[in-house]
């Protein structure tokens, strides 16, 4: 029986991918190689340092660990200037309505994000209070597709993994949910998220009937 919903942040509740893209592209421009919107797809759901490694591999650039740290820090400072301008109008359609419904129905709510900026983003969106547990990039040691982030969220809620539904937009996140023994709703395209139990375009397409239908999956 479904007792809790665990939400990924970037790509599920808010579209921060566009800001990540601008910030990474600035580094690529400086280093003199091309970084396209398609390339940016590969960075979704993966950690900051792994994102940087992917970026550098696209540019066929080698950097020392110290240089990498400096680049990642600079990217994040740049990214933060965009994040700090965000407000509740950036919340993706249907999110608040679905969170309100879950609250009314007594379904528990947690966040499971790879981002170290998750708290800042939730504050900017004025959504912090919806989440009983917030597990983000500052609290995990293993990145998705490892299930750690979702297992910690379930544990913080005191709910068994098989009573949890994860909402994810990234392939690595879907894998993490499934290997943690949870149900998974993919947000996006079936070619990327094919393994999820249900695939929708966004939370505006979600309701209690669809949620409880996952009990049968």
Alpha helices in 35-189 (DSSP H): 37-41, 48-58, 65-83, 95-105, 118-125, 148-157, 171-179
Determine if 8 is a binding residue for Mg ion (CB under 5 A).
yes
Supply the DSSP symbol for 185: E
What is the C-alpha to C-alpha distance for residues 3 and 135, in angstroms, rounded to an integer?
Answer: 18
Judged by beta carbon distances under 5 to 8 A according to partner kind, the member of Mg ion, ligand B16, none in contact with residue 117 is ligand B16
Determine if 186 is a binding residue for Mg ion (CB under 5 A).
no
Give the 3-state secondary structure of residue 120.
helix
> 170 to 189, contacts with ligand B16 by CB under 6 A?
170
Determine if 11 is a binding residue for ligand B16 (CB under 6 A).
yes
User: Is 155 part of any known ligand binding site?
Assistant: no
C-beta of 214: minimal distance to ligand B16 in Å? 21
| Cα 172-17-54 angle, rounded to 5 deg | 55
> 37 to 66, contacts with Mg ion by CB under 5 A?
45
| 15 belongs to the catalytic site | no
Instruction: Please check whether residue 165 is in contact with residue 6, taking contact to mean a CB–CB distance below 8 angstroms.
Output: yes
Determine if 145 is a binding residue for Mg ion (CB under 5 A).
no
| 162 belongs to the catalytic site | no
C-beta of 146: minimal distance to ligand B16 in Å? 12
Backbone dihedral angles phi then psi of residue 78, each to the nearest 5 degrees = -65, -50
User: Is 51 part of any known ligand binding site?
Assistant: yes
And the tokens for 19? 């800001």
Binding residues: 8-10, 24, 43-48, 51, 75, 113-117, 144, 168-169
Catalytic residues: 8, 10
Contact positions vs ligand B16 (CB under 6 A): 8-11, 20, 43-48, 51, 76, 113-117, 137, 170
């Amino acid at each position: 029986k479904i007792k809790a919903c665990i939400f990924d942040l970037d790509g599920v509740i808010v579209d921060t991918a566009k800001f990540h893209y601008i910030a990474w592209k600035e580094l690529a421009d400086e280093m003199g190689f091309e970084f396209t919107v398609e390339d940016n797809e590969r960075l979704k759901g993966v950690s900051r340092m792994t994102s940087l490694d992917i970026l550098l591999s696209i540019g066929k650039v080698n950097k020392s660990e110290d240089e990498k740290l400096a680049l990642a820090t600079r990217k994040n400072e740049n990214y933060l200037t965009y994040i700090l301008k965000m407000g509740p109008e950036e919340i993706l359609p249907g999110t608040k309505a679905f969170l309100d419904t879950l609250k009314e129905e007594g379904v528990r709510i947690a966040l499971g994000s790879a981002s170290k900026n998750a708290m800042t983003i939730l504050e900017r969106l004025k959504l912090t209070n919806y989440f009983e547990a917030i597990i983000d990039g500052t609290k995990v040691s293993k990145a998705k597709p490892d299930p750690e982030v979702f297992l910690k969220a379930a544990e913080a809620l005191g709910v068994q993994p098989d009573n949890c539904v994860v909402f994810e937009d990234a392939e690595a996140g879907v894998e993490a949910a499934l290997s943690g023994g949870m149900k998974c709703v993919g947000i996006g395209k079936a070619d990327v998220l094919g393994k999820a139990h249900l695939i929708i375009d966004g939370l505006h397409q979600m309701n209690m009937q669809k949620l409880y239908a996952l009990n049968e999956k």
